[in-house]
């Protein structure tokens, strides 16, 4: 009985949207006890209202019929679901252009991710300071991971180095990896990898753009 009111499984697709809802709610700012309807949140998040309601229902968020959702409460609930109630120390490996951009990206710390370690193998970079953090040598990763309880690693190296870095991360105790290198990395079971490939996104755009040109005359909008 009673037992499991919010089914222990939030669909992946929903999880991927929670950060967007969170961001939208925070932009929506809102005074102390503002409420927001699924329709309005949907608009801000760029999805449709039914989806918002269904998504929020998975973790038993109580909206009020005829009124909407309490913004403050919703923010708290989503943050809890996302595990954003505490800070996540991260390590970035690869201090090229992208790594430097990431190290300087304010958006990370704003959302609960601190940069606990920057790592590279090049003597040119080790010892310099980027985004307020000193760059350490990759060989020192293990100690840093332990000392700072780092559980998320970010790979911003060239493709060729990515697999090796991933293995070192796993060896150092990192359990989740965000991979920006344009290659597939393989990791042991239980290690979670997400990837972002900047050029892949462009190629997807290219597909639809090309098709638009090819499907002559088919209304684009």
Partner DNA sequence: CTCTGTGAACTCTTTCACAGCA
Partner DNA sequence: TGCTGTGAAAGAGTTCACAGAG
Q: DSSP alpha helices (H): ranges in 58-158?
A: 71-81, 97-104, 106-110, 141-148
Whether the CB-CB separation of 52 and 45 falls below 8 Å is answered with yes
Q: Is residue 39 a contact residue for DNA (CB under 7 A)?
A: yes
How many CA within 13 A on the CB side of residue 80?
10
Q: Is residue 84 a contact residue for DNA (CB under 7 A)?
A: no
Full DSSP string of 152-200: EEEE-S-HHHHHHHHHHHHHHT--EEEE-SSS-----TT-EEEE--HHH
Part in contact with a copy of itself (CB under 8 A); list of ranges 12-20, 48-56, 65-73, 115-123: 12-20
Residues 56-85 that bind a copy of itself (CB under 8 A): 81-84
Give the one entry of DNA, a copy of itself, none that residue 64 binds, where binding means its C-beta sits below a cut-off of 5 to 8 angstroms depending on kind.
Answer: DNA
Q: Is residue 113 a contact residue for a copy of itself (CB under 8 A)?
A: yes
Q: Is residue 139 a contact residue for a copy of itself (CB under 8 A)?
A: no
> How many residues can be counted in the chain?
221
Closest to 96 measured CA to CA, from 143, 145, 168, 161: 161
Q: Is residue 40 a contact residue for a copy of itself (CB under 8 A)?
A: no
Closest to 153 measured CA to CA, from 112, 93, 83, 99: 93
Q: Is residue 195 a contact residue for DNA (CB under 7 A)?
A: no
Report in angstroms how near the CB of residue 1 gets to DNA at its nearest: 14
Q: What does the per-residue mask of binding to DNA show for 2-31, with x meaning CB under 7 A?
A: ---------xxxx-----------------
Q: What does the per-residue mask of binding to a copy of itself show for 166-205, with x meaning CB under 8 A?
A: ---------xxxx---xxx-x-xxxxx-x-xxxxxxxxxx
Coil vs helix vs strand at 70: strand
Report in angstroms how near the CB of residue 65 gets to a copy of itself at its nearest: 26
Applying CB under 7 A, the residues found at the interface with DNA are: 11-14, 36-39, 47-51, 53-54, 56-57, 61-69
């Amino acid at each position: 009985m009673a037992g499991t009111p919010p089914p222990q499984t939030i669909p992946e697709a929903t999880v991927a949207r929670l950060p967007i809802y969170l961001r939208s709610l925070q932009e929506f700012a809102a005074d102390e006890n503002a409420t927001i309807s699924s329709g309005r949140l949907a608009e801000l998040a760029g999805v449709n209202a039914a989806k918002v309601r269904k998504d929020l229902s998975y973790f038993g968020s109580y909206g009020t019929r005829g009124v909407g959702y309490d913004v403050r409460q919703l923010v708290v609930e989503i943050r809890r679901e996302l595990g954003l109630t505490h800070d996540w120390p991260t390590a970035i490996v690869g201090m090229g252009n992208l790594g430097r951009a990431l190290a300087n990206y304010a958006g990370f710390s704003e959302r609960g991710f601190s940069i606990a370690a920057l790592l590279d193998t090049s003597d040119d970079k080790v010892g310099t300071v980027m985004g307020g953090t000193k760059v350490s040598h990759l060989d020192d990763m293990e100690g840093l991971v332990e000392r700072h309880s780092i559980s998320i690693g970010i790979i911003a190296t060239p493709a060729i180095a990515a697999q090796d870095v991933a293995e070192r991360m796993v060896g150092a105790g990192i359990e989740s990896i965000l991979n920006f290198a344009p290659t597939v990395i393989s990791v042991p079971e239980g290690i979670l990898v997400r990837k972002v490939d900047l050029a892949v996104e462009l190629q997807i755009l290219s597909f639809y753009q090309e098709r638009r040109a090819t499907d002559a005359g088919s209304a684009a909008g």
